[in-house]
Amino acid sequence: MSHKSHAVTGLGAVIALATGLTGCASGSSPSSPASSAAPSGSSASTAPVVNGVAQIKVTLTGGDSGDKCTADYATAPAGPITFTVENVSSTAITEVELQSELKILGEKENLAPGLPASSFTVTIDGGQYTLYCLGATPQTQPFTVTGQAAAAPTGSTATLLNQGVKDYATWVGTQADGLKSAVAELKKAVDSGNVDTAKAAYIQARPFYEKIESDVEGFVMPGFKVDDNKGNLDYLIDMRASNLDEKVGWSGFHAVERDLWKAGKITDSTKKYATDLDANVGKLVDVVKTLEFKPEDLANGAAALLEEVQSGKITGEEEEFSHTDLADFHANLEGARQAFAYLQPGLEKIDPDLVKQVVTQFGNVDAALGELRTKDSATGYLAWTPANRDKHRKALSQAVLALQQPMQKIAEKVATAK
C-alpha cells in the first residue's frame, strides 16, 4: 500500500458512469456459432430475443466430473444481451464474466450455490467473445454474436489510447460503486452481530477495493497534511498491522478482519470500525468520480498492482487474520489486466510483440493461481496460511515477476505515443 499524495478537491471534471458497455470484438466479420447444435429442448441455436433483448441462461453445477458452467445458447444476435446466472450446486465457481480479449464487458461475482439467479446486460456488436467462469471445467468457452460486426479500431495511436483511458475511467467508477454497496452490506452484517454473516460480507467487499487499489491510494482529505494518516483515506480504509500508525490506531477493513477472525466476535468497537469504514468509502467514491487519467497512469497503476501482489499478497501480510490473500491476489491481477486491456488497442500499434508477451504472461499467472483453487473455501482459494505460503509462494512469485518485466515497459511507450 503506497501513499501517493492526491487532494480530495480540485481533481477535474466528474466522469459520468455509462449505463451500458459496448465491446469491440476481435475480427471484422460475424462468425459462426461455437456449436451449431441447439440446446436440449430448443429448436434453434441462437438465443431468443424478448422485448428487444437476447436472453442467455447460464447454469452453474457441481459434480464428480467437475464444476460446469453451461450457457443454454452459444450465440446471440448483436445488440442488448442479458446473461442470467444461477448457481444450482457449484461450490467452485465464484464468478462469471463476458470478455472481449482480456476486457471484461459484464460480470457477476460471489455466486454462492442456492442463491436466486442474478443477471447482467451488455450491448455488443457482432464478433467473437469469451464466457469466462472462474473455477469451472473448462473455465472459458467461446460465445459468438452475429450481425453487425464491430469496426476495427481506427485513428492515431494517441486516439486509441485516449479512448481506452476514457473507458477505463468508467470501469473504475463501476468498481467504486460496487465497493460502496458491498461495504454497506458489510456494515449491516456487522451491526447484526452475526460473525459468520459478517465474514462472508467482508470476503465479498474486499475484491472491489483491490481491483482499483492503485487508483485510490493516498487521497488526503481537506484540512489534513499529506503525512497525517488521520486524513489519509487509504490508511483509514486499508491500513494493516505492518504499517500501523500508533497515533491513529486501528481502522478500516483490517480492523474488522482482526475482530472477526482473531477475536471471533463482534463488539461495539467492531461496529464503529464498520461504520467509519462505510463513511470513508463514501468519501473515497466521491473522489474517484472526479478522477482523470492519462495512458501512462493506467500502465503505472497496473505495474503497481503487480508490485502489491508481490509485497503484500504473496507474503501473507495483507490478510493476516483471515488468510484470504489469494482472493486479493486475484483482484489485484484483474485490476492490472483491465488497465492493460484498455491500453491494448493503441499498444498493438506501438509494439505488438510486447502485447503478445504480456498476454502470454497473464495466462501463466492465471494458471499458477488456478492451481490453488479449492471448493473448501469461501473465497475459492486455499487459505494462505504459513504452511501453504512456504509450499507455493516461490512459484507464484516467479510467475508474477515474469509478467512484471514486460509490463514495466508499457508506461514509457504509451506516454510518448502520437
Q: What is the pLDDT of residue 243?
A: 85
Instruction: Among 2.40.10.170, 1.10.10.10, 3.40.50.720, 2.60.40.420, name the CATH number for the domain at 49-146.
Output: 2.60.40.420
Q: What is the pLDDT of residue 23?
A: 36
Does the structure show a pLDDT above 80 at 137?
yes
Q: The pTM is what?
A: 0.76
Q: Which of 46, 320, 335 is nearest to 213 (CA)?
A: 335
Query: Cβ(280)–Cβ(253) under 8 Å?
Result: no
Chain segment 44-60, per-residue pLDDT in tens: 589 999 888 899 999 99
Q: Which of 295, 315, 338 is nearest to 400 (CA)?
A: 315
Give ranges for CATH 1.20.1420.20 in the chain. 156-415
Average pLDDT estimate for 140-164: 85
Query: Cβ(173)–Cβ(15) under 8 Å?
Result: yes
Does the structure show a pLDDT above 90 at 395?
yes
Q: What is the pLDDT of residue 42?
A: 39
Q: Which of 330, 333, 314 is nearest to 386 (CA)?
A: 314
CA–CA separation, 317 and 230 (whole Å)? 22
Q: What is the pLDDT of residue 106?
A: 84
Q: What is the pLDDT of residue 151?
A: 65
Give ranges for CATH 2.60.40.420 in the chain. 49-146
- Confidence band, pLDDT 50/70/90 cuts, at residue 105: confident
160-163 contact pairs (CB < 8 A, 24+): 160/345, 160/346, 160/349, 161/295, 161/343, 161/345, 161/346, 161/347, 161/414, 161/417, 162/295, 163/345
Q: What is the pLDDT of residue 114?
A: 85
Of all residues in the chain, the percent with pLDDT exceeding 90 is 66
Which CATH class, in words, describes the domain spanning 156-415?
mainly alpha
Query: Cβ(333)–Cβ(313) under 8 Å?
Result: no
Q: What is the pLDDT of residue 118?
A: 84
Chain segment 63-93, per-residue pLDDT in tens: 888 899 999 999 999 988 989 999 999 988 8
Q: What is the pLDDT of residue 32?
A: 30
Chain segment 258-315, per-residue pLDDT in tens: 999 999 999 999 999 999 999 999 999 998 988 889 999 999 999 999 999 998 999 9
Q: What is the pLDDT of residue 154?
A: 67
Chain segment 323-379, per-residue pLDDT in tens: 999 999 999 999 999 999 999 999 999 999 999 999 999 999 999 999 999 988 999
Taking phi over 0 as left and psi of -120 to 50 as alpha, with beta for the rest, 12 belongs to left
Chain segment 188-228, per-residue pLDDT in tens: 999 999 999 999 999 999 999 999 999 987 788 888 887 78
Q: What is the pLDDT of residue 4?
A: 40
Q: What is the pLDDT of residue 123?
A: 83
CA–CA separation, 25 and 345 (whole Å)? 11
Q: What is the pLDDT of residue 370?
A: 92
| Residue 122 backbone phi and psi in degrees, to 5 | -130, 155
Q: Which of 104, 152, 107 is nearest to 125 (CA)?
A: 152
Per-residue H/E/C for the chain: CCCCCEECCCCCCCCCCCCCCCCCCECCCCCCCCCCCCCCCCCCCECCEECCEEEEEEEEECCCCCCEEEECCCEEECEEEEEEEEECCCCCCCEEEEEECCEEEEEEECCCCCCCCEEEEEEECEEEEEEEEECCCCCEEEEEEECCECCCCCCCHHHHHHHHHHHHHHHHHHHHHHHHHHHHHHHHHHHHCCHHHHHHHHHHHHHHHHHCHHHHCCEECCCCCCCCHHHEHHHHHHCCHHHCCCCCCCCHHHHHHHHHHHHCCCCHHHHHHHHHHHHHHHHHHHHHCCCCCCHHHHHHHHHHHHHHHHHHHCCCCCCCCCCCHHHHHHHHHHHHHHHHHHHHHHHHHHCHHHHHHHHHHHHHHHHHHHCCECCCCCCCECCCCHHHHHHHHHHHHHHHHHHHHHHCCHHHHHHCCC
Average pLDDT estimate for 228-246: 90
CA–CA separation, 32 and 143 (whole Å)? 10
Of all residues in the chain, the percent with pLDDT exceeding 70 is 88
Does the structure show a pLDDT above 60 at 403?
yes
Does the structure show a pLDDT above 50 at 148?
yes
Average model confidence (pLDDT) for the chain?
Answer: 86
Query: Cβ(266)–Cβ(256) under 8 Å?
Result: no
Q: What is the pLDDT of residue 5?
A: 38
Of 8-12, 13-17, 205-209, give the range with the top mean pLDDT: 205-209
Query: Cβ(75)–Cβ(142) under 8 Å?
Result: no
Cβ-based burial of 276 (10 A; exposed 0-12, middle 13-18, buried ≥19): middle
Query: Cβ(128)–Cβ(144) under 8 Å?
Result: yes
Cβ-based burial of 337 (10 A; exposed 0-12, middle 13-18, buried ≥19): buried
